[in-house]
Amino acid sequence: MARAATRLTRFNMTSLAAGLAFLYLPIVILVIYSFNASRLVTVWGGWSLRWYHEFFNDRAMLDAAWMSLSVAAVSATLATLLGTLAAVGLARGERFRGRALFSGMLYSPLVMPEVISGLSLLLLFVALNAERGFWTVTIAHTTLTMCFVTVVVQSRLTALDRSLEEAAMDLGCDPVRAFLMVTLPLIVPAIVAGWMLAFTLSLDDVVIASFTTGPGSATLPIRIYSEVRLGVKPEINAICTLVIAMIAVVIVIASFASKLSSSQAESAAPL
Amino acid sequence: MPLLRIEGVAKSFGNFRAVDKLSLDIRAGEFFALLGPSGCGKTTLLRMLAGFETPDEGRILLGGNDIAQVLPHERPVNMMFQNYALFPHLSVRDNIAFGLKRAGMARKDIATRVAEMVALVKLEGLEKRKPDQLSGGQRQRVALARSLARRPQVLLLDEPLAALDKKLRESTQGELMELQRRLGMTFIIVTHDQEEAMTMAGRIGVMDAGRLVQVATPRNLYEAPASRWIAEFVGDINLFNGQVTARDRGRLTVSTTEAGALAVSELWPPVTKEVVSVAIRPEKVKLSRRAPATDAGASQAINRLEGVVIDVNYLGGITSYRVKLESGAVVRSSMANTARLDVDAYLAGQRVVAWFTADDCLVLEQ
């Protein structure tokens, strides 16, 4: 029985193929049609890079793409800073009062419906009379993605042997130096993975961005969404293909980083 | 004044009293072992000496200065960790140099000292390797070199050999002793392995439930344990409960239910209680087919117990036997296999006499 389960039976093959098709067929179709020469999305007119060319000449679309990338980069960086600090506080700090509450609240954005997060942030920005645009979206994305960074970094920190920091202190480091010289280099892969995760999440988001953005500062997903409402242009396919490619690269790097991180954690063990 | 004086040190974690008003003096240049079962507080005590735990009460005097509240990085004490805690992102050389850099040593001196340490622990040629490219034994050496590099006044070793296999452990024990003698440094080792403690340490402190129950040389600990608990913890022992029924010029007669009347020599301190245990180590119990010669002519009384061999365990150097007495009690005896072909070996089921002298017996309070 156990042997049969490890082999790919015909049934397993079929279900695997069906599952993959279900997940990736729409994306594959989108990618293929992005190279379609025809103006009609559903009619195949031969291979062409026409719509990529169109996109690189579409000022409004490029602005939106630039806006998205800068929001993603800035918010990911802020989220990584805050998230790492929170992770260190939770994993290394003494058991302070309200620790459970703090960690629970930190994880709430993971499960909170985005509409609610978006709406509450919108109300906050309106109440503060903040002009909506780049910074409001960036702040909103930072609050969304920070908890993901915290989860990644905290799990790495808990896996890390406490005695490494103690050894550093024993050898003459004060606690801050011990952290900087020993702990930080060992959690860098997790921090990098956290940043990548935050970056892609920010790039993906429509709901929170649509609540918190202002006129003239639409992110790429919002821009695409509003274009699509007027009918799907093949140019959208081209943009989506580029975004998919970028996210795929980032995710591959992030998974390499976290693999590196866990193999280092193993090598820190005595045998 | 001893190098290190621990005075009434106590430490609790919540309601658990890990170390309970413990006092101990350690002399300069001593190899001292803290021995005890897991959870006895020995590691907590070591961590207080290193500075990772702060005692709730009491003082820790190092060279006359109280260091109980001093932070770990400001103590002239280094520790070798049980899991070695080598920095995985640094090479062997950088691991060893880590503490020297922090001490603000000149670059040239660091290089010299690292080379010296590498030679000391015989790691030449491996300086550029990362810890994950080393074997268990090599990692242990790096950890040792790293903790010795700063020339601490006291080196603390937390179960330093626990992760090594038996052969390597035994050779490393010898090397550690040799190193300690050569450097003249004070070593405090924590271990739960009594053989390890007896092999290496000049003095052993036995801990139980946060208290130091006996501090003695290995020989005294084994031959004159202060309590029944220690006698059972350190090595194997046969115990017979009984009552003192007669005293005669340093000779006690203890009547036991399991082994009848036993003659026991009374050593210092004198036995004050009436209800006692007679203890005898297995290697001091000899077996023979017939009862040995009577007391006449012998300088001391001999106890003889008749029984049947129920179990023979051949262990190479020694053979250990279990002999069931008529009372149902079991006596353990171990005898050295001094000849390759032993025609006198006993077999299970054989009737034998297990005998031992009065001087070899210990009298312990129950």
With respect to residue A173, please indicate whether it lies within any of the assigned structural domains.
yes
Asked, for residue A6, whether it belongs to a domain, the answer is no
Assess contact for B114 and B93: CB atoms under 8 A.
yes
Q: Which residues does residue B344 pair with via DSSP β-bridges, in sequence order? A: none
Instruction: Tell whether A36 is covered by a domain.
Output: no
Task: Say whether B71 and A161 touch across the interface (CB within 8 A).
Answer: no
Can you give the residue range of the structural domain that contains B309? 236-289+297-365
Please report, for the domain that includes residue B251, its CATH number.
2.40.50.140
The tokens describing B178, both together, are 């040799």
Contacts of A187 in chain B (CB under 8 A): none
Cβ contact A172–B85 (<8 Å): no
Contact between A89 and A156 (Cβ < 8 Å): no
Mark yes or no for CB contact B85/A161 under 8 Å.
yes
Q: Chain A residue closest to B136 (CA)? A: A271
B54 and chain A: CB distance < 8 Å anywhere? no
Domain boundary, last residue among B208, B228, B248: B228
| pLDDT score at B78 | 94
Section B236-251 average pLDDT = 88
Task: Name all contacts of B227-233 with Cβ < 8 Å and 24+ positions apart.
Answer: B227/B364, B227/B365, B228/B277, B228/B279, B228/B364, B228/B365, B228/B366, B230/B206, B231/B279, B231/B362, B231/B364, B233/B36, B233/B37, B233/B194, B233/B206, B233/B208
Which ipTM was obtained for this model? 0.82
Whether the per-residue pLDDT at B296 is higher than 70: the answer is: no
CB contact under 8 A, A267 and B81: no
* Sole residue written with tokens 């030679």: B119
3-state DSSP: chain B helix, strand, coil percent, rounded to 5? Answer: 25, 35, 40
Q: Is A171 in contact with B98 (Cβ distance < 8 A)?
A: yes
Q: What is the mean pLDDT of residues B78-82?
A: 93
Q: Which residues of B touch A167 (CB under 8 A)?
A: 79, 81, 85-87, 146
> Domain of A236?
69-261
Question: Which long-range contacts (C-beta less than 8 Å, at least 24 apart) are formed by B169-172?
Answer: B169/B196, B172/B137, B172/B140
pLDDT at B28: 93
pLDDT value at A265 more than 70:
no
CATH number at residue B27: 3.40.50.300
Residue A166, φ and ψ in degrees, nearest 5: -65, -40
Say if residue B221 is in the same domain as residue B341. Answer: no
Same domain? B354 vs B216: no
Torsional class of B8: left (φ above 0), alpha (ψ -120 to 50), beta (otherwise): left
Same domain, B152 and B187: yes
Instruction: Flag whether pLDDT at A262 surpasses 70.
Output: no
Residues B63 and B123 in one domain: yes
Q: Report the gap between the CA of A164 and the closest CA in chain B (Å).
A: 5
> What is the band of A255 on the pLDDT scale with cuts at 50, 70, 90?
confident
* Amino acid at site B94: D
Contacts with A178 from chain B: Cβ below 8 Å: 73
If asked whether residues B274 and B199 sit together in one domain, one would say no
Q: Is residue A27 part of a domain?
A: no
Task: Mark whether B120 and B161 lie in a shared domain.
Answer: yes
Nearest residue of A to residue B158, measured between CA atoms: A163
Q: Total domain count for chain B?
A: 2
Does A2 have pLDDT greater than 50? no
pLDDT in tens, B21-55: 999 999 999 999 999 998 899 999 999 999 999 99
User: Taking CB atoms and an 8 Å cutoff, what residues of chain B touch A183?
Assistant: none
Residues of A with CB under 8 A from a CB of B: 161, 163-164, 166-174, 177-178, 182, 185-186, 264, 266-271
CB-CB under 8 Å, A182 with B72: no
| pLDDT tens string A9-52 | 888 889 999 999 998 898 888 888 888 888 877 788 888 888 88
Q: Which of B88, B89, B103 sits opposite A172 (nearest CB)?
A: B103
**Does residue A168 sit within a domain?**
yes
Cross-chain residue pair B83–A172, CB shorter than 8 Å: no
Q: Is pLDDT of A211 > 80?
A: yes
User: Stretch A188-203: mean pLDDT, rounded?
Assistant: 90
Do B262 and B306 sit in the same domain of this protein? Answer: yes
pLDDT at A51: 87
Does A268 sit within 8 Å of B73, measured CB to CB? no
Q: How many CB pairs under 8 A join A and B?
A: 77
Contacts of A96 (CB under 8 A, 6+ apart): none
- What total of structural domains would you count in chain A? 1
Question: A46 in the Ramachandran plot: left (φ > 0), alpha (ψ -120 to 50) or beta?
Answer: left
Domain annotation covers residue A269: no
Which of B52, B105, B146 would you mutate first to test chain A, the one with the most A CBs within 10 A? B52
Do B269 and B350 fall into the same domain?
yes
Query: Distance (Å, rounded) from C-alpha A76 to C-alpha B133?
Result: 35
Chain B residues close to A267, C-beta within 8 Å: 88, 130-132
Closest partner CB to B136 (pick from A170, A178, A271): A271
Tell me: do B209 and B99 sit in the same domain: yes
At B188, which helix (H) or strand (E)? strand B186-191
Q: Quick check: A145 pLDDT over 80?
A: yes
CA atoms within 13 A on the CB side of B272: 1
Interface test with B, best of A161, A166, A170 (most B CBs within 10 A): A170
Which pLDDT does position A1 carry in this prediction?
43
Indicate whether B241 and B223 sit together in one domain. Answer: no
Q: What confidence tier does B12 reach under pLDDT thresholds 50, 70, 90?
A: very high
CATH number for the domain that contains residue A120: 1.10.3720.10
Pick from B228, B248, B267: which residue ends a domain? Answer: B228
List CB contacts (< 8 A) between B79 and chain A.
166-167, 170
Query: Does the beta-carbon distance from A169 to B83 stay under 8 Å?
Result: no
- Best B73, B139, B150 residue to mutate vs chain A (most A CBs within 10 Å): B73
For B85, the closest of A163, A172, A267 (CB atoms) is A163
Residues 173-202 of B with CB under 8 A from A: none
- Choosing from B196, B228, B260, the residue where a domain stops is B228
- For residues B197 and B340, membership in a common domain is answered with no
Residue B292 scores a pLDDT above 50: yes
B244 and B217 in a common domain: no
